[in-house]
Amino acid sequence: MRSTRLVRGKLYHKVLVATLLCSIPTLPGSGATELDARVKVPRAVAITTTIDFETIPPGTSVTDQYHALGVDFLDFATSDPEGGLVPTIAFVGAGTAHSGTQVLDLNQPLNEFYRSWAGGKFVTTVSRVSMRVGYFSGRGTPGMPPSSVCRPTTPLTRSWHRRR
Amino acid sequence: MTVTDGAGFHTLLEVGSAAADIAYFVVTTPISADVLDPIGIDDLSFTFEPVERPTSH
């Protein structure tokens, strides 16, 4: 008796499902179902993210702290797994920083010298990149005489790498 | 691009690509001067262009 009821219940379930699938109406002349007609995806909108380097304490090395915002800072220059040229957060004060009081310091020790170098890899490719650049006044390589530490102006080089 | 000692971190450096294919960037000073010139950046900004999906009418 029990086995007979289970068999009948299973058969009844299959018939009901088949009926529901066939009942989705078709729009006249379009060939599309009513379900398709209700699906509308809004137009894509460009998303701009700005990182002001204010949320991390001064002196902290910056690597993947901004990954959730879309960028990781990597050591492209030396490919050193132990660190190499990793930028740090620096306090420079209001008015000196473009916003807030902190900036990202690119001047880091490499072997016995200091070098200004930093690279950022985006989580996904982007269409535009910008930043505010500046010069740390009065700072130079440790051990260098003051007269040779800083020059009045510094030409910058930049490279923007596109995914092929 | 040239930055000036004592001018703060305000010099704008930017680039764009209509194809939205910028995967990473590098900022540095010239090889001949990189030992001596300490620079930094502020307000790093980047624009992500989501892929537009087809819509039904």
State the ipTM, two decimals: 0.86
How many CA atoms within 13 Å lie on the side-chain side of A76? 17
Give the pTM: 0.67
Judge whether B32 is closer than 8 Å to chain A, CB to CB: no
User: Which residues of chain A have a CB within 8 Å of the CB of B48?
Assistant: 46-49, 70, 124, 126-127
Residues 24 to 43 of A: which have CB under 8 A from any B CB?
A: 32, 36-37, 39-41, 43
Do residues A127 and B20 lie in contact, with contact meaning Cβ atoms separated by under 8 Å? yes
First to last CA, chain A: 69
Contact criterion met (CB < 8 Å) for B22 and A126: yes
- For A154, other C-beta atoms within 10 Å of its C-beta total 23
CB contact under 8 A, A119 and B27: yes
Give the tens place of pLDDT for each residue, A1-31. 444 444 444 444 443 333 333 333 334 444 4
Q: Which of B16, B29, B23 is nearest to A151 (CA)?
A: B29
Cβ neighbours of B55 in A, within 8 Å: 40-41, 43
Tens of pLDDT, residues A76-129: 655 554 445 789 999 999 999 999 999 999 887 766 667 777 889 999 999 999
